[in-house]
Amino acid sequence: MPTVPPHAVALSGMLAAATSSEPRITETQAGVRIEVDLPDELSPVTRSTILTALGGAGRYGHSRTEAGDSVWGEIDREAKR
């Protein structure tokens, strides 16, 4: 079983703390993707915390569905941190 890079574990923890939701971690060909559901309302501090956390990812984005909003960040396995 592959291990999750420490930077991905840190990102997961930061997103969990900011959103009070459990992040989903999935493996991709290039690395690891961390996705978390967003609460219905975001305070300015929470929004800033989420954006700061995602800024450390190689790629990040936002998804909107009927079920709600989520954000995701991807960490490359080869990333040097």
Whether 26 is in a domain gets the answer: yes
Whether 81 is in a domain gets the answer: no
Whether 13 is in a domain gets the answer: yes
Whether 48 is in a domain gets the answer: yes
Question: How many whole angstroms separate alpha carbon 40 and alpha carbon 6?
Answer: 29
Identify the band that residue 2 occupies on the pLDDT scale cut at 50, 70 and 90: low
pLDDT at 77: 79
Please report, for residues 15, 45, 75, the alpha-carbon distance to residue 33 in angstroms, rounded to integers and kept in the order given. Answer: 12, 24, 6
Whether 69 is in a domain gets the answer: yes
Q: What is the pLDDT of residues 15-63, one digit of tens each?
A: 999 999 999 999 988 889 999 999 999 999 999 999 999 999 999 999 9
Range of the domain at 31: 6-76
pLDDT at 11: 95
pLDDT at 1: 46
Tally of structural domains, the chain: 1
